[in-house]
A and B are shown apart, each in its own frame.
Chain A
Amino acid sequence: MDTRVPEIKSVAAPEGIEGAGFFATSLEKVVGIARANSLWPLPFATSCCGIEFMATMGAHYDISRFGSERPSFSPRQADLLMVMGTIAKKMAPIVKQVYEQMAEPRWVLAMGACACSGGIFDSYSVLQGIDRIIPVDVYIPGCPPRPEQVLDGLMRVQDLAKNESIRRRNSPEYQALLASYNIK
Chain B
Amino acid sequence: MAVNDALAGTHKIVEEAQEQQGGQLVPTLNDFSQELTTLNLGPTHPATHGIFQNILQMDGERIISGVPTIGYIHRAFEKIAERRPFYQITPLTDRMNYCSSPINNIGWHLTVEKLLGVTVPKRAQYMRVIMMELARIADHLICNSILGVDTGAFTGFLYVFQEREKIYEIYEEVCGSRLTTNMGRVGGMERDFSPVAIEKLRKWLKEFPAVMKEFEAMFNRNRIFMDRVVNVGPITAEKALNYGFTGPNLRAAGVDYDVRVMNPYSSYEDFEFDIPVGTNGDTYDRFIVRNEEIWQSLRIINQALDRLPEGPFHADAPHYYLPPKQAVYKNMEALIYHFKIIMGEIDAPVGEVYQSVEGGNGELGFYLISDGGRTPYRLHFRRPCFIYYQAYSEMVVGTSLSDAIVILSSMNVIAGELDA
**A residues near B46, Cβ cutoff 8 Å:** 73
The A-contacting residues of B in range 104-160, CB under 8 angstroms, are 142, 157-158
A79 lies within 8 A of chain B by Cβ: no
Contact partner, B43, options A55, A94, A126, Cβ 8 Å: A94
A51 lies within 8 A of B99 (CB): yes
Which residue of B has the minimal Cβ distance to A61?
B165
Residues of A within 8 A of B91 (CB): 120
Q: Which residues of chain A have C-beta atoms less than 8 A from B79's C-beta?
A: 123-124
- Bits for B49-82, please: 1 = Cβ < 8 Å to A, else 0: 0110000000000000000000111111001100
Q: How large is the interface on A (under 10, 10 to 19, 20 to 34, 35 or more residues)?
A: 20 to 34
- Known contacts A55-B164, A55-B168, A59-B161; is A48 also within 8 Å of B72 by CB? no
In the docked arrangement, what's the CA distance between A144 and B180, Å?
7
How far apart sit A51 and B138, CA to CA, in the bound complex (Å)? 12
Given the complex of chains A and B, what is the CA–CA distance between A122 and B51 in angstroms? Answer: 20
Interface assignment of B415: CB less than 8 Å from any CB of chain A: yes
Question: Which residues between 119 and 141 of chain A lie within 8 Å of chain B, taking CB atoms?
Answer: 120-126
Which of A26-34, A83-91, A153-161, A170-178 contacts the other chain?
A83-91
Q: How far is the CA of A116 from the CA of B416 in the complex (A)?
A: 18
Contacts of B18 in A (CB 8 A): none
Q: Are A125 and B76 in contact (CB under 8 A)?
A: yes
Instruction: Assess the A60–B165 pair: CB atoms within 8 A.
Output: yes
Please give, as numbers and ranges, the residues of chain A lying within 8 Å of B86 by CB-CB distance.
none
Q: A86–B164 Cα gap in the complex (Å)?
A: 23
A143 at interface by CB-CB < 8 Å: yes
> Are B43 and A91 in contact (CB-based, < 8 A)?
yes
- Out of B45, B73, B94, B162, which one reaches A85, CB within 8 Å? B73
Which residue from B75, B158, B162, B168 sits with its C-beta under 8 Å from A121?
A: B75
User: How many Å lie between the Cα of A60 and that of B165 in the bound state?
Assistant: 8
Q: Is the CB of B162 within 8 A of A59?
A: yes
Known A88-B71, A146-B178; judge A58-B76 contact (CB<8 A): no
State the CA gap A15–B157 with chains docked (Å).
42
Evaluate contact between A48 and B98: CB separation under 8 angstroms. yes
Assess whether B220 is interfacial by the CB under 8 Å rule. Answer: no
B338 at the A interface (CB under 8 A) = no
Q: How far is the CA of A85 from the CA of B44 in the complex (A)?
A: 13
B164-175 Cβ-contact flags toward A at 8 Å (1 or 0): 110010000000
B73 with A46: CB separation less than 8 A: yes
Contacting residue for A51 out of B73, B75, B157, B179, CB 8 A: B179
Q: A48-B179, A48-B180, A59-B162 are known contacts. Are A88 and B43 too (CB-CB below 8 A)?
A: no
- Chain A nearest Cβ from B173, distance in angstroms: 15
Chain A residues closer than 8 Å to B43, beta-carbon distance = 91, 94
B314 at the interface (CB under 8 A from A): no
CB pair A121 B76 closer than 8 Å? yes
- Minimum CB–CB distance for B309 against chain A, Å: 33
Verify if A40 is at the interface (C-beta below 8 Å from B).
no
Chain A residues with Cβ below 8 Å from B158 are: 58-59
A86 and B73 contacting across the interface, CB-CB below 8 Å: yes
CB distance from A86 to the nearest CB of B (A): 6
Residue numbers in A under 8 Å from B80 (CB-CB): 121-123
Look across to chain B and name the residue whose beta carbon is closest to the beta carbon of A54.
B161
Interface assignment of B251: CB less than 8 Å from any CB of chain A:
no
Task: Indicate which residue in A47, A58, A60, A143 contacts B415 across the interface (CB closer than 8 Å).
Answer: A47
B window 393-420: CB within 8 A of A: 415-416, 419
Separation in Å of the B72 CB from the closest CB of chain A? 4
Given the contacts A44-B44, A55-B161, A98-B44, A123 and B75 also touching, CB distance less than 8 Å: yes
Residue of A nearest to B95 (CB): A48
Q: CB within 8 A of A55: which of B50, B165, B416?
A: B165
Is B415 in contact with A90, judged by CB distance below 8 angstroms? no
Is A125 a contact partner of B142 (Cβ separation < 8 A)? Answer: no
Query: Given contacts A51-B142, A88-B71, are A144 and B179 in contact (CB under 8 A)?
Result: yes
Give the distance in Å from the alpha carbon of A159 to the alpha carbon of B180 in the complex.
30
Q: Shortest distance in angstroms between B370's beta carbon and chain A's nearest beta carbon?
A: 21
Contact of B98 (CB < 8 Å), options: A51, A55, A120: A51
* 30 pairs from A and B in contact (CB 8 Å cutoff): A47-B50, A47-B73, A51-B99, A51-B142, A51-B179, A52-B178, A52-B179, A54-B142, A55-B161, A58-B164, A59-B158, A59-B161, A59-B162, A60-B162, A60-B165, A73-B45, A86-B73, A88-B71, A88-B72, A88-B74, A88-B75, A88-B419, A90-B74, A94-B44, A123-B75, A124-B76, A125-B74, A126-B76, A144-B178, A144-B180
Given A55-B178, A88-B419: 11 more A-B contacts, CB < 8 Å: A47-B95, A48-B180, A51-B142, A59-B158, A60-B165, A88-B71, A88-B72, A120-B92, A124-B79, A125-B74, A146-B178
Which residues in A have some Cβ–Cβ distance to B below 8 Å? 44, 46-48, 50-52, 54-55, 58-60, 73, 85-86, 88, 90-91, 94, 98, 120-126, 143-144, 146
The 8 closest A-B pairs by CB, nearest first: A58-B161, A73-B46, A123-B76, A48-B98, A91-B72, A121-B75, A60-B165, A125-B74
